[in-house]
Structure 1
């Protein structure tokens, strides 16, 4: 029996990739310049490298619209030609405490950069990264069976959720 050649890695990556992302500007909370910078970096990094696929759905590349509607987090997934493929809607409730704690520690971290020594800054940064990982894992868990994504993609999406979450 002849085996088919697997698709090229470029084809696989495009089939599991977000190539455009739009944040609902009505949902975006205005934050400090540091948090706005993190949001911009997360958007850039997400588009540069991500692993994202609809479970049981059409392959990508995908366009992703992220927003908050009626206290729900909405991932509206579209095809590259802008056909709506699926809306994935999650309750914000499980994210509220992590996001609140994340913003508190981020505030402390940014203040520490201006006036504390390296040991204190490093300790706050470790706490910040720990909460970020916790939020990213929660996002992956909540998307199980709907969207398959790797940890780095979840981390970048969690950063964007933080930009949306608090205002809602």
Structure 2
């Protein structure tokens, strides 16, 4: 059995063909990738261990997880329908826009209330991602949260 440190991501990339987005979205992307690399739990079911590299992309309105080892040897590719995420992502985008507007002009209590709602929707998306990856990739909730942020960034660009 491989050690627990082998079940982690060492690199995460997003499909760059989609292009760049707003500075706020790009900041979210950079922070999510940094945090994800720093601390994650990522175990492709049935694989002996990494560390792993992950490329996230959108192909034909589907989310594609391409997993390789650090030497680029293929591990697995998982394709998920985005349908279960559509409402959550839409709600998340709307509340993020409200949040970014609020931090420029609202009171701290208003910002905190919007941020609580934002975190709640983010948690819902993270749990949905964990559920959709069940039986394919085992991840913890913090890893799911960071990956959901990246799913949103991809979707926002796409």
Residue 12, structure 1, aligned to residue 4, structure 2? yes
Equivalent pair of 1:58/1:85 in contact (CA under 8 Å): no
Distance in 1 between residues matched to 2:77 and 2:48, nearest whole Å: 13
Q: 1:25 aligns with which of 16, 23, 29?
A: 16
- Taking only aligned residues, the RMSD between alpha carbons, in angstroms, comes to 1.4
Counterpart position of 1:3: none
Q: Structure 1: 5+ residue runs without aligned partners?
A: 1-5
Counterpart position of 1:88: 78
Equivalent pair of 2:41/2:139 in contact (CA under 8 Å): yes
Please give the secondary structure, in 1, of the residue aligned with 2:78: strand
Equivalent pair of 2:21/2:157 in contact (CA under 8 Å): no
Counterpart position of 1:152: 142
TM-score (normalised: structure 2): 0.95
Distance in 1 between residues matched to 2:123 and 2:154, nearest whole Å: 18
Distance in 2 between residues matched to 1:32 and 1:104, nearest whole Å: 15
Counterpart position of 2:55: 65
Q: Structure 2: 5+ residue runs without aligned partners?
A: none
Q: 1:55 aligns with which of 45, 52, 59?
A: 45
Count of residues in Structure 1 that have an aligned counterpart in Structure 2: 158
Equivalent pair of 2:55/2:65 in contact (CA under 8 Å): yes
Counterpart position of 2:127: 137
Residue deviations 1:63-106, cap 9 Å, x none?
11110111110000101211111101100111111111101100
Q: Aligned in 2, Cα 1:93/1:166: closer, same or farther, shift over 3 Å? A: farther
Distance in 2 between residues matched to 1:32 and 1:126, nearest whole Å: 23
